[in-house]
C-alpha cells in the first residue's frame, strides 16, 4: 500500500486502486485508474479534492460516465466518483434540489411524481444531473439552461459556493464549470406545475422515439459530435458515406449516424481513430469540422487527453 493510498483511505471508506474504467463508462472501454474513490458526502468530496491538490495528484470528477472516452492505458490519477450517495432529491413547491449524483432519469421521474413539467426532455439522457449541468445537456428542443435556476459547487480549493443561473454561463453544450474547475454538488431546478398524466405521456413518447431512432442496444457515449451551426452531425456523416463505417470494433451506427458505437469489443483507440476519420472526411467533403461532444481522459496515441 503506497502512502497516498493510505491518506485517501483515511478520508474515505470507498477507495480502490487500479480500477478498470470500462466498468464505469457507457462506452464500456477504458483501462485502470490509479485510484477510484466514491465519496459519501460533500465534505468528504471537498477533503479529497484538497488532498489531491496538496499532493499534486491529477483528479477527475466522474458522474455516470456517459459522455466520456477513457484511454486503453487508463488514467494516472484519482477518479472521484459522484454517485448515488451524492444524489439525494428534494422537492419544494415548484423547485427541485437534486444532488449532483442523481441521474436525469431519477430527477425527471421525481418531477413527474410531483406534477412538475419542463424536464421530460431529459428523462432518457443517460447521465447525472451534475454532468448535465456541466455540459448543458439537451434533447428534443429542451436543455438544462431552460430549467436550472442555480447550483451549489465546490471550488478547486474545496470551498462551497452557490451560483445563480446567470453565473453558470450556460451555452450550447457548455457552462463555466469546467473552465473554472468547479465541481457541481447540487442543482436547483425551477419547473412549472403540470398534469402528471400528460407529463408521463410525454416521457413515454420521447422514450419510444429514442428506442426507434437511437442505437440503445449498443454501448456508446450518446451523440458523439456537437451539432455544427446550421446543420446536423448525423446528416453530414451519413452524406459523407460513413453509415456503418468501422475501425476495429467501433462503428458508425446504421440506425443513427450521429452515434459511434462499441459494436464488437472495441478498444478506446478504435473509437478515437474512427472519430478522427469521421472528422477528416466530413471536413474534406463539406468544409465543416465536427467537434467531439464527449470528453477524453488519459493518454491517447495522438497526444494527451484531458
Known catalytic residues are 173, 223, 293
Give the pairing type, strands 59-62 and 75-81: parallel
| Other CB atoms within 10 Å distance of the CB of residue 20 | 16
Cα–Cα distance measured from residue 36 to residue 26, given in angstroms and rounded to the nearest whole number: 17
Cα–Cα distance measured from residue 238 to residue 162, given in angstroms and rounded to the nearest whole number: 43
Maximum C-alpha span of the chain? 56
Compute the CA torsion angle 9, 129, 218, 229 (nearest 10 deg): -130
Residue 142 neighbours by CB under 8 Å, 6+ apart: 118, 119, 120, 121, 122
Amino acid at each position: 500500500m503506497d502512502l497516498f493510498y493510505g491518506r485517501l483511505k483515511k478520508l474515505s471508506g470507498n477507495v480502490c486502486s487500479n480500477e478498470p474504467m470500462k466498468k464505469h463508462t457507457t462506452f464500456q472501454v477504458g483501462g485502470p485508474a490509479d485510484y477510484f474513490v466514491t465519496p459519501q458526502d460533500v465534505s468528504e468530496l471537498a477533503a479529497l479534492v484538497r488532498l489531491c491538490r496538496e499532493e499534486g495528484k491529477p483528479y477527475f470528477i466522474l458522474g455516470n460516465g456517459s459522455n466520456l472516452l477513457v484511454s486503453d492505458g487508463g488514467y494516472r490519477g484519482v477518479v472521484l466518483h459522484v454517485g448515488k450517495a451524492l444524489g439525494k432529491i428534494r422537492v419544494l413547491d415548484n423547485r427541485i434540489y437534486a444532488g449532483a449524483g442523481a441521474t436525469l432519469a431519477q430527477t425527471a421521474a421525481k418531477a413527474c411524481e410531483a406534477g412538475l413539467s419542463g424536464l421530460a426532455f431529459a428523462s432518457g439522457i443517460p447521465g447525472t444531473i451534475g454532468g448535465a449541468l456541466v455540459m448543458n445537456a439537451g434533447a428534443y428542443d429542451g436543455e438544462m439552461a431552460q430549467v436550472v435556476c442555480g447550483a451549489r459547487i465546490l471550488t478547486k480549493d474545496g470551498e462551497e459556493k452557490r451560483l445563480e443561473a446567470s453565473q453558470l454561463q450556460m451555452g450550447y453544450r457548455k457552462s463555466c464549470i469546467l473552465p473554472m474547475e468547479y465541481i457541481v454538488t447540487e442543482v436547483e431546478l425551477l419547473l412549472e406545475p403540470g398534469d402528471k398524466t400528460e407529463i408521463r405521456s410525454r416521457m413515454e413518447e420521447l422514450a419510444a422515439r429514442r428506442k426507434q431512432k437511437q442505437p440503445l442496444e449498443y454501448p456508446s457515449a450518446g451523440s458523439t459530435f456537437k451539432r455544427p451551426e446550421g446543420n446536423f452531425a448525423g446528416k453530414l456523416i451519413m452524406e459523407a458515406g460513413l453509415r456503418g463505417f468501422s475501425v476495429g470494433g467501433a462503428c458508425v451506427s446504421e440506425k443513427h449516424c450521429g452515434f459511434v458505437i462499441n459494436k464488437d469489443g472495441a478498444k478506446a483507440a478504435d473509437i478515437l481513430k474512427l472519430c478522427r476519420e469521421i472528422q477528416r472526411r466530413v471536413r474534406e467533403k463539406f468544409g465543416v469540422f465536427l467537434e467531439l461532444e464527449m470528453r477524453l481522459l488519459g493518454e491517447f496515441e495522438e497526444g494527451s487527453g484531458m
